[in-house]
Structure 1
C-alpha cells in the first residue's frame, strides 16, 4: 500500500486528509485557442485507512460509455468510501472527448504511448503525468473502455490469465464475461502491470454511444469490487449477478467474405452452435445475399453494428475455448 505522510495524501500538489473530499486539476496543455483544459480528478477519502482505488475512463475520447459509468459512481455517491480512498478520473483524454475522437489532436492513441515522456508528444506527456503523479498513490485500478468502429462489446473484463489477484477481483466484479488476453505493448494496462498495480480493464458497448445495460454492468460491478474490499458505503447494496461469469480462454474474429450491406441476426452475449445463422450480407440492388454462419460453437462477445462492411471486416467475436 502506498505510504501516506501523517495520513495526508499529497497528489497533484494538493494535500487531502482523512475524511476529506477534493477535486484537483490534472493539467497538461491548453487548447490551440489558449483556452485552459482542465481534467478533473475527484478524490474522496474515508476517515478510516484502507486501499486506494482509482477509477479511470476516457483514455479514448469517443468511449463515452466508460465516462458515463465513472460519472454515475460520482453522481450517486458510490465514490464515497467507508474505508480508504477512491480517486475518479472520468475523462483522461479530454482533448479527444471534446470532439468525440479516439485519438489526441496529435493523432496518437494514448493507450499506445505509455509510460509516456515529459518531453514527447501531447499524448506522451499526459501518459507520463498519469504514471508519475497518480499511479504511485494507488493500489488498484478499474479502467473502463468500449468497443470501437461500430463494434459492440458484451460487458467483459480483460486481463492476463495468470494473475491470481485480478481473478479474485474479477469474480467479485461479476461481469457477464472475462476474456483472458495478453498485455499490449505501451498500453496503460501493461504499464500498471510492470509497476505492480493490478488493473481490471472493462469493455462494454461501442464508441459514441451510451447503453443502459453496459452502464449498469459497470456500475454494479464496481460496487461489488468495493464491497469485496470493504469500501462500499453503508447506504449502498451490491446485488449478486443473475448469471455466473463465463471465463473465456480463447476466441477468434469472424470476418466478412464479401463487401456489402450487413445485418446481424444474433443477440450479443448469446451462445450459438456451429453453423447457426449469425447474419447476412447483401448488395443494394437485391441481387446478392450471403448468409453468415457460425464457424464454431461459442459465445458472441462482439457484434459489428455497422450497416456497411467491406471484405475482411470483423463481424463477430466468438469464444472458442472456455475455462473449466
Structure 2
C-alpha cells in the first residue's frame, strides 16, 4: 500500500527521513554526452512543509548558485520537519557556457510553464512545473543583476499579497520591491499553480559577492525557521534594520556615451540633485555629472566602465510604502 507521505519524483520514491539526489536528463549533447540537472532532496522523519530552493535559471547569475550551494554545503537544507528540494542550477546549459540563455537562444524565465514537445528551454520549464512544483508548498528563487548592473539585496513580490509580504519581511533583505509577475516567468507560473514564491535579487552576473551571499543564506535560514524546519544547531539573527518597501521606482539612463564612474554607494539614500557619478570621454575634454532626479534609495548601479547613451545606470526609488508622496520629476 502506498504511503501518502512518500515523495515521487522522476520515478523515484523518497520516504520520510531519507536523502536523495535525483537527476533530470536535459538532453544529450552533440557529442552524445548526457547533460543532467541534479535535484537534492532532504526529508525529515517528521512530515511538514515542502520548500523548493532554486537558482541558475539564468546561467550567468553565479551569485544565486553560490547561495544555494552554501545552503546545501552547510546542511541548512536538512530540515527538522518536512522536506527541502534544492536545484542549484536549473539552466545547466547556460552555466556551462557562462551564458544567460539556452543554446536555442531562449530565456528560460520567459517560457514557463513550458511544453513537453517545445524548444529545449520550454521542455526544461515543463519538467520543473510538472515534476517538482506540484509537490511544493513554498519556493525561493535566487537571481542576480544582469550584465554589469549590481542589484542591492532585495526580495521581489507582487503588491497586495499579504502572505508574501509577511514572508518577505521574515526573509529580511534590505529592500522589498513591488514588482509585477512577468508573463511566462517562473514566478508567474508558480503563482498560477498556487505556490507562493519569493524572488531574491542581489549582485551582478559573473560575480560572487560575500555580502549578497550572506544576505541570501541568512534569509533562507529565517524562512526555514519561520516554517519550523530549521535545524536547532543553526542560529537565526534578526535583520539589522527593517526592510525598506519600494512601491515604485525609475531607471536613470545615460544622456551621453562615454567612460562612466559612479560615486554613490549602493543602498544609499540620496536627495534631489545629489551627484551620483560622472560620464567623461577618453580625451579629457568632456565631463557630465549625473544628478539624482528625485530623492530616494539607489538600489541598482551599473558598474560598467564604458556606457552608451540610453544605458540604464541607476535604479532609484520614487515611492516607499507608507510614504504618500510620489515623484513626478522627469529625468
> 1:244: which partner in 2?
242
Matches within 5 A, 1:149-188: 149-188=147-186
CA–CA separation in structure 2 for the residues paired with 1:65 and 1:160: 23
Q: In the aligned structure 1, how far is the partner of 2:251 from the partner of 2:34?
A: 42
Looking at structure 1, the residues matched to 236 and 12 of structure 2 have their Cα atoms a distance apart, in angstroms, of 32
Q: Which residue of 1 aligns with 2:40?
A: 42
Matched, 1:120 2:118: yes
Cross-structure match for 1:191: 189
Unaligned runs of 5+ in 1: none
Match of 2:296 among 283, 298, 309: 298
SS of residue matched to 1:275 = coil
For residue 147 of structure 1, what is the aligned residue in structure 2?
145
Partners of 1:180 and 1:25 lie apart in 2 by: 35
Aligned to 2:327: none
Structure 2 Cα separation of the partners of residues 5 and 259 of structure 1: 64
Provide the rounded CA distance (Å) in 1 between the counterparts of 2:212 and 2:31: 36
Counterparts of residues 1-324 of structure 1 (less than 5 Å):
5-324=3-322
Alignment partners' CA distance in 1, 2:116 and 2:26: 10
The separation in 2 between residues aligned to 1:292 and 1:303, in whole angstroms, is 12
Q: Secondary structure at the match of 1:59?
A: coil
Structure 1 distance, partners of 2:113, 2:29, is: 23
- Measure, in 1, the Cα distance between the counterparts of 2:164 and 2:145: 22
Q: CA deviation at 1:5?
A: 3.8
Q: Distance in 1 between the 2:72 and 2:163 partners?
A: 26
Equivalent-residue separation in structure 2 for 1:57 and 1:133 (angstroms): 17
Distance between the aligned counterparts of 2:14 and 2:26, measured in 1? 22
The one-character-per-residue Cα deviations of 1:2-61 (angstroms, maximum 9, x if unpaired) are: xx9432111111111111000000212012211111110000000111100000000000
List, as ranges, runs of 4+ consecutive aligned residues in structure 1 with deviation greater than 6 Å.
Answer: none
Q: What is the rounded CA distance, in whole Å, between the counterparts of 2:3 and 2:299 in structure 1?
A: 45
1:175-206 deviation line (CA, Å, top 9, x unaligned): 00000011101100110011110000000000
Aligned-residue offset at 1:150: 0.4
